């Protein structure tokens, strides 16, 4: 068979096997590719040597001899990230990560973009890597809103000029909407709305304006709002809202699991390995 000899088999419908394994909550795509390379995965009774294989619901996938759990529905959560946590799977400096603090029942989740260690507020989490990548793309067109407290003062005209974009130290930032909410002693409270979300974008723009950020909170990511979610709190986005906001994207992500029928789904659910393998990314 093509997938035994190392040749690719991507002609049939379905989804790549690494994504299928990730959607089952077993591991990340990268970890799935490593498992395949180590010979730990069989497809329809034969060892698999290449991740470049498409699978459908009719295929029987075993990992370490155990059936792969059925793919979980695509899920999305709102998380109120506190300051002092990094958004990474493992931190080389040993700093605490969001994945150290999330409730265990969430299973393996992926962040949609990042917030730096000193930023707080809304962070979207999902169990589907393809959804995370899709929502991170600037062309998605979602506006991200932030409340900012900064030391110093700025004139409204300087903020108005940001609508056309700005170049700072050779980096071009797209149009930014910003307004002054109030001035409080030596500090100014502002609201920023951006679409690109480049690394430390708001902090660098504020520095360019002579402001020093001392608090930065994301309050919205597209249609999803932080609201009154408590610091450190996690709340799942209702399925109805996901369908309303994600529409065809959600359908496209879940469609591969339905292709090819369901004649062998019971085999993928049964056995000792039918339970959840999900975990946080640590």
Please give the Cα distance from 263 to 67 (Å, whole number): 15
Residue 116 designated active-site:
yes
Asked if 150 and 211 touch (Cβ cutoff 8 Å), the reply is yes
Strand partners, 177: 193
- Report helix, strand or coil for 68: coil
Report pLDDT for 256: 60
Candidates 3.10.290.10, 3.40.470.10, 3.40.50.880, 3.30.70.1350; CATH matching 2-71+248-274: 3.10.290.10
pLDDT of residue 6: 44
According to DSSP, the residues that pair with 145 across neighbouring strands are 193, 220
In the block, tokens 């994945």 appear at 99
Residue 147 burial (CB count, 10 A)? 18
Domains of the chain: which residue ranges? 2-71+248-274, 76-236
Residues 29, 19 contacting (CB under 8 angstroms): yes
Count how many Cα atoms sit within 13 Å of the Cα of residue 156 in the half-sphere of its side chain.
Answer: 5
Superfamily of domain 76-236: Pseudouridine synthase (3.30.2350.10)
Query: What was the pLDDT predicted at 257?
Result: 52
Tokens of 163: 């609508």
Question: Distance (Å, rounded) from C-alpha 275 to C-alpha 272?
Answer: 7
Q: Which residues pair with 166 in a beta bridge?
A: 173
Q: CA 204, CA 197: separation in Å to the nearest integer?
A: 12
166-173 CB contacts, 8 Å cutoff, 24+ apart: 166/205, 166/208, 168/204, 168/205, 168/208, 169/204, 171/198, 171/204, 173/198, 173/201, 173/204, 173/205
Contact 85, 104 (CB under 8 A): no
Using alpha carbons only, give the angle 68, 4, 55 rounded to the nearest 5 degrees: 40
Digitized pLDDT (tens) for each residue of the chain, 282 residues in all:
444 444 455 556 778 899 888 888 788 888 899 999 999 999 999 999 899 999 988 899 999 999 988 878 899 999 999 999 999 888 889 999 999 999 988 888 999 999 999 999 999 999 988 898 888 876 677 899 999 999 999 999 999 999 999 999 999 999 999 999 999 999 999 999 998 878 899 999 999 999 999 999 999 999 999 999 999 999 999 999 999 999 988 888 877 655 444 333 333 333 333 333 333 443
pTM over 0.85, yes/no: no
**Both tokens assigned to 54:** 């498409």
Which listed residue (91, 116, 128, 164) is catalytic? 116
């Amino acid at each position: 068979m093509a997938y035994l000899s190392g040749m690719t088999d991507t002609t049939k419908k379905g989804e790549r096997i690494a994504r299928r394994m990730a959607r089952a909550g077993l591991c990340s795509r990268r970890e799935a590719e490593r498992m395949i390379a180590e010979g730990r995965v069989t497809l329809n009774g034969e060892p698999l040597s290449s991740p470049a294989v498409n699978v459908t619901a009719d295929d029987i996938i075993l990992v370490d001899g155990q059936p792969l759990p059925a793919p979980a529905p695509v899920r999305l959560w709102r998380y109120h990230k506190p300051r002092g946590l990094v958004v990474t799977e493992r931190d080389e400096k040993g700093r605490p990560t969001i994945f150290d603090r999330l409730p265990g029942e969430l299973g393996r989740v992926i962040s949609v973009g990042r917030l730096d260690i000193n930023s707080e507020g809304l962070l979207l989490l999902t169990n589907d890597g393809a959804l995370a990548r899709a929502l991170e793309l600037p062309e998605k067109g979602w506006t991200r809103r932030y409340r900012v407290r900064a030391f110093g003062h700025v004139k409204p005209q300087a903020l108005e000029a940001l609508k056309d974009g700005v170049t700072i130290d050779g980096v071009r930032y797209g149009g930014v909407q910003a307004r002054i909410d109030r001035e409080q002693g030596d500090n100014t409270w502002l609201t920023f709305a951006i679409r690109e979300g480049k690394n430390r974008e708001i902090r660098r723009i504020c520095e360019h304006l002579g402001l020093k950020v001392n608090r930065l909170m994301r309050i919205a990511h597209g249609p999803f709002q932080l609201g009154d979610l408590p610091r450190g709190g996690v709340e799942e986005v209702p399925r109805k809202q996901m369908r309303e906001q994600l529409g065809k994207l959600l359908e496209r992500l879940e469609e591969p699991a339905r292709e090819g029928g369901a004649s062998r789904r019971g085999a993928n659910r049964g056995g000792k390995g039918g339970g959840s393998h999900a975990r946080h990314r640590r």
